[in-house]
Amino acid sequence: MQSSWRRLIFFLIIILLLGGAFGLGVEFGFNNRPAVSRLTELINKEEQKPAALDFAPFWDTWEVIDSKFVDTTASSSTSTVAATDDEDKVWGAISGLVSSLGDPYSVFLPPLESENFGEEINGNFGGVGIEIGVRDNILTVVAPLAGTPAQRAGIQPADKIIAVDGTYTGDLTINEAINLIRGEVGTAVVLTISRAGEDGSLNFELIRATIDIPTIESEMLPQGIFVIRLFNFGSNSPELFRDALRQFTEADTDKLILDLRGNPGGLLDASVDMASWFLPAGKEVVTEARGRDEEPRVYRSRGYDVFTDKLKMVILVDGGSASASEILAGALADHGIATLVGEETFGKGSVQELVSITDETSLKITVGRWLTPRGVSLSHQGLVPEAIIEIEEEGEGDQEELGDPFVEKAVEILLEQD
């Protein structure tokens, strides 16, 4: 039994070292080939095994654990062996291998985490409604989702999550933190937050709810300016965006504000489709640079291109605009279609693939980075708007009286173009 487990661990590690993934980007999919079949393939292809790697220290450590480790949490005085079974050790070994990359977005997902990630991709899940990333090696709020417990409680983009129910997050992966934040609908979770400009930490008690991610809103401002607010890039976003653009064209105005503030992104294909309404066929939307001697993959406009050069457009962004939001905003700004107004965006410009390792586990691994048409790396920094909005620290009532300085600046820019 022990030798068979050793073979399994060895070949799982081989799988991770060799790759074996297929294209996904911000899109997703699973390789459903049975794990046994994949292991057999590798066993029969000796030439594919990595050369000059000494696994002796790994097996020496395994044997020391088996022979010497005492479980100090055991409730029985006669129970001294480790509670962790061999399968959990395998998952732990793979997790350690992935964490050695030093990339917060590359994560091995054991069975429970893999199931939870699938629920998140489907767009309906239990939790508090925040998109989480990593900035300066600290778990950071990208944006609270509209209409969720997190937004209602006052969680803000760029808040640092220091602890979840008292558990320090510095020792957790993103997925481990997400698993702590999620739970049964109706139960409470306490997030300890560090916020710029605040002395000490802030505690937010949030009641978990079923999260249905909102998509889009639109309205006409009194100044004759049409506003589309896009909250995410999901599978139904392109169709809803098309409908909003139809309303814009019927509104007898040539002035458009696209509000991407607090939009943490989503599917690459959705951002390409939306950009295609404004760009001629073949124009670059974004480039995926993969390295490892692979040719860059360029995603181009599908050429819907229904607007003339009379279109006047502003895109609103802030620190909660990330991923697909940055792709769309960067493409339209680089091609001179829109003016960016707001704050520097989050800077989430890496590409992940989701690879099935076994039937119940998966690996989310970074395989590339996004570049705007002008070559700006979105993983290196966020987009810097042409018009920067500085938000002064004000009380809640004062802020309501001040109105929305982002929209006010966008209106000013659009009216000046008449």
Catalytic residue among 255, 312, 348, 364: 348
Query: Six-digit token pair at 285?
Result: 């939307």
- The model's pLDDT over 260-284, given as tens digits with 9 standing for 90+, comes to 999 999 889 999 999 999 999 999 9
How far apart CA 197 and CA 337 sit, in angstroms, is: 36
- The model's pLDDT over 40-72, given as tens digits with 9 standing for 90+, comes to 454 344 455 566 677 788 888 988 988 888 877
**What's this model's pTM, rounded to 2 decimal places?**
0.73
Catalytic residue among 334, 350, 362, 409: 334
Clarify whether 323 is annotated catalytic.
Answer: yes
pLDDT band at 37 (very low <50, low <70, confident <90, very high): very low
Task: Give the length of the chain.
Answer: 418
Give the pLDDT confidence score for residue 200 in this predicted structure: 92
Backbone φ/ψ region at 403: left (φ over 0), alpha (ψ -120 to 50), beta: left
What is the rounded average pLDDT of the residues 307-334?
A: 96
Clarify whether 103 is annotated catalytic.
Answer: no
